[in-house]
Amino acid sequence: MQGMQTVFDRAVDQRLITTALAPAVFGSMWLDPDVVGPIPDYPRASGALSCDLLVVGGGYTGLWTALHAAERNPGATIALIEAESIGWAASGRNGGFVDASLTHGAENGKSRWPAEFDRLERLGVDNLDGMQADIETYRMQVDWERTGMLSVATEPHQAEGFGQAAAEGGGRFLDRTEVRAEVDSPTYLAGLYAADTCALVQPARLVFELARACADSGVQIYEHTAAESLRRDGGGVRVGTGVGAITAARVVLATNVFPSLVRRNRLFTVPVYDHVLATEPLTGAQLDSIGWRDRQGVSDAGNQFHYYRLSADNRILWGGYDAMYHYGRRVDVRHEDRPQSFRKIAGHFFITFPQLADVRFSHRWAGAIDTNTRFCAHWGLAGRGRIAYVNGFTGLGVGAARFAADVCLDLLDGRPTERTELEMVRRRPLPFPPEPLASIGIQATRWSLDRADHGAGRRNLFLRTLDRLGLGFDS
Ligand SMILES: Cc1cc2nc3c(=O)[nH]c(=O)nc-3n(C[C@H](O)[C@H](O)[C@H](O)COP(=O)(O)OP(=O)(O)OC[C@H]3O[C@@H](n4cnc5c(N)ncnc54)[C@H](O)[C@@H]3O)c2cc1C
């Protein structure tokens, strides 16, 4: 049976897509020195070191861990090593949506942890407020805008879902006229606006400013220094690097999608590639043609969804929808520059905003998302409690990384806290099976999700079975 059409199946002039993508350079717009300014650099480690805490990984998770560890233990020696450069990976390439949700959205949280969902929501809002407070305390210049999140329905069944979500306190329902008064797309049927649970940030600025705050707090940061091995050493841990061993009393692994140094943790996540475009800065007239005066973050509501927002200089960042898993679960730069994905999402941009047919894209890029089967972080301890790790943020790690850092520090302290008592923290997800099963399962899930999007949201037997098992695939 042929599925129904969705708005994103409408035909778009292929010449328009080619012309619009022609100026797009490959690389994250946020990390472009013309956008972000000078890129900071930190030295390589040059020999053996010892410290109280070693953090491995220079993205948000590692940097929040180091910063909060310095706050908790002002006298401690803390080092952070980064294999490449600070923020080059997901933390410098994401959409910059800082959502309060720690569970990749309310639906996922409610269905997995109904008994502690209210607590998870409260901890998520506290984390978002705490992040805003940290940004003010350390005077981080990160283009923070607490403009809220506007979900938009482009299919009738999605609009019905918004009505229900609004009734349950998930935001304010906007009818077609109201949502189009906010952001004007002919594809919108309804909206759901959550005013206070999402902020926008310049992602690369956030990671650079976190590094600055860490350095100001005495954290020693080393770039181009990869951790290659881990082994217990007396009462601590010995971490091998190409240039010498680092001996640390405690270690936090904040290595996200990259192969975990704790081998047994590797089966729990897979890299999923997400593709993003950014436009040139919009002119006043172009901006007027779509409204968007309140600058909310926007996302449409399909299983396969787009997320989009304005930057400080009024570019539109447009990403998502075409999340790709590649056989073999490897993080590989060759998966990033995928013309079919960029063409597909560029077409969806012009379907959404036909009034912007004269807008061109300035940047195209992709990044690997660390996806697990429950779509939100999982933690663990290794090396007799001396090594903590966290993985699996899936597509919502900008805010959650700060919470995750606090959990890692709590776990290493060994004293129970409200955070470490959470079932979400104590329980691990089911792992992905090895290849070829991982690939077969993920492709079947993607196919079924696409069918659901094309069939008024109806989930087939395969998806319903996964739902019952608490398994899934998301970006
Ligand atoms: C395209 C895209 C869009 C996204 N959009 C959003 C969004 O809008 N909102 C949201 O909440 N989330 C979003 N995410 C997810 C979010 O970006 C990530 O969850 C978050 O950045 C994870 O931070 P991290 O510090 O854990 O990982 P990373 O930023 O990946 O940092 C991990 C670091 O560890 C280093 N490393 C790995 N192994 C070693 C080693 N052995 N030795 C030394 N260093 C090592 C890596 O080089 C890397 O720099 C998006 C992700 C992508 C890819």
Q: What is the DSSP annotation of 355-415?
A: GGTT--EEEEEEEEEEE-TTSS-EEEEETTTTEEEEE--TT--TTHHHHHHHHHHHHHHTS
| DSSP label of 240 | E
Of 137 and 454, which is predicted with more confidence? Answer: 137
Tell me the CA–centroid distance for residue 398 and ligand 1, in Å.
Answer: 8
What atom of ligand 1 comes closest to residue 96's alpha carbon?
A: 8
pLDDT of residue 450: 86
pTM score above 0.95: yes
Three-state secondary structure call for residue 164? helix
Choose which residue among 88, 143, 258, 408 to substitute to test ligand 1 binding: the one with the highest number of ligand atoms within 8 A of its C-beta: 258
How far apart, in whole angstroms, are the C-alpha atoms of residue 323 and residue 428? 24
Give the other-Cβ count within 10 Å of 191's Cβ.
27
Ligand 1 binding pocket includes 401 (Cβ within 6 Å) = yes
**Residue 57 confidence (pLDDT) above 60:** yes
Ligand 1 binding pocket includes 227 (Cβ within 6 Å) = yes
Confidence of residue 474 (pLDDT cuts 50, 70, 90): confident
Tell me the CA–centroid distance for residue 7 and ligand 1, in Å.
Answer: 32
**Residue 205 confidence (pLDDT) above 80:** yes
Tell me the CA–centroid distance for residue 178 and ligand 1, in Å.
Answer: 36
Ligand 1 binding pocket includes 96 (Cβ within 6 Å) = yes
How far apart, in whole angstroms, are the C-alpha atoms of residue 435 and residue 1? 30
Tell me the CA–centroid distance for residue 292 and ligand 1, in Å.
Answer: 29
What backbone phi and psi angles, to 5 degrees, belong to 292? 55, 40
What backbone phi and psi angles, to 5 degrees, belong to 364? -140, 140
The residues that bridge with 193 in the sheet, in sequence order, are: 150, 172
Ligand 1 binding pocket includes 222 (Cβ within 6 Å) = no
What atom of ligand 1 comes closest to residue 390's alpha carbon?
A: 26
Ligand 1 binding pocket includes 309 (Cβ within 6 Å) = no
Residue ranges with strand state E in 18-86: 25-26, 49-56, 78-81
What atom of ligand 1 comes closest to residue 275's alpha carbon?
A: 1
Q: Whose CA is nearest to atom 50 of ligand 1?
A: 94
Confidence of residue 463 (pLDDT cuts 50, 70, 90): confident
| Helix, strand, coil percentages for the chain (3-state, nearest 5) | 35, 25, 40
Ligand 1 binding pocket includes 255 (Cβ within 6 Å) = yes
The mean predicted confidence, pLDDT, of the chain is 95
Tell me the CA–centroid distance for residue 114 and ligand 1, in Å.
Answer: 28
Residue 249 to residues 175, 232, 234, 428, Cα–Cα distance (Å): 57, 10, 9, 25
pLDDT digit string (tens) for 206-256?
A: 999 999 999 999 999 999 999 999 999 998 999 999 899 999 999 999 999
Ligand 1 binding pocket includes 258 (Cβ within 6 Å) = yes
pLDDT of residue 1: 40
Ligand 1 binding pocket includes 365 (Cβ within 6 Å) = no
Tell me the CA–centroid distance for residue 98 and ligand 1, in Å.
Answer: 14
Q: Residue 151 belongs to what H/E stretch? A: strand 149-153
Are the CB atoms for 439 and 284 separated by under 8 Å?
no
Q: What letter represents residue 169's amino acid? A: G
Tell me the CA–centroid distance for residue 61 and ligand 1, in Å.
Answer: 8
pLDDT of residue 3: 65
> What is the mean predicted confidence (pLDDT) over 292-300?
98
Query: Of 215, 224, 214, 194, nearest to 128 (Cα)?
Result: 194
What percentage of the chain exceeds 90 in pLDDT?
88
Q: Within 13 A of 447's CA, how many CA atoms are on the CB side? A: 8
Ligand 1 binding pocket includes 398 (Cβ within 6 Å) = yes
Tell me the CA–centroid distance for residue 371 and ligand 1, in Å.
Answer: 11
Three-state secondary structure call for residue 78? strand
pLDDT digit string (tens) for 146-167?
A: 999 999 999 999 999 999 999 9
Rg (alpha carbons) of the chain, rounded to whole number: 22
Choose which residue among 91, 127, 341, 376 to substitute to test ligand 1 binding: the one with the highest number of ligand atoms within 8 A of its C-beta: 91
Are the CB atoms for 182 and 346 separated by under 8 Å?
no
Query: Of 328, 344, 321, 340, nearest to 440 (Cα)?
Result: 328
pLDDT digit string (tens) for 363-387?
A: 999 999 999 999 999 999 999 999 9
How far apart, in whole angstroms, are the C-alpha atoms of residue 323 and residue 338? 11
How far apart, in whole angstroms, are the C-alpha atoms of residue 284 and residue 186? 20
Q: Within 13 A of 9's CA, how many CA atoms are on the CB side? A: 9
Tell me the CA–centroid distance for residue 272 and ligand 1, in Å.
Answer: 12
Ligand 1 binding pocket includes 277 (Cβ within 6 Å) = no
pLDDT digit string (tens) for 215-227?
A: 999 999 999 999 9
How far apart, in whole angstroms, are the C-alpha atoms of residue 224 and residue 83? 5
Residue 9 to residues 82, 352, 453, Cα–Cα distance (Å): 42, 12, 11
Ligand 1 binding pocket includes 64 (Cβ within 6 Å) = no
| DSSP label of 274 | E
Query: Of 118, 116, 121, nearest to 102 (Cα)?
Result: 121
Three-state secondary structure call for residue 323? coil
Of 472 and 27, which is predicted with more confidence? Answer: 27
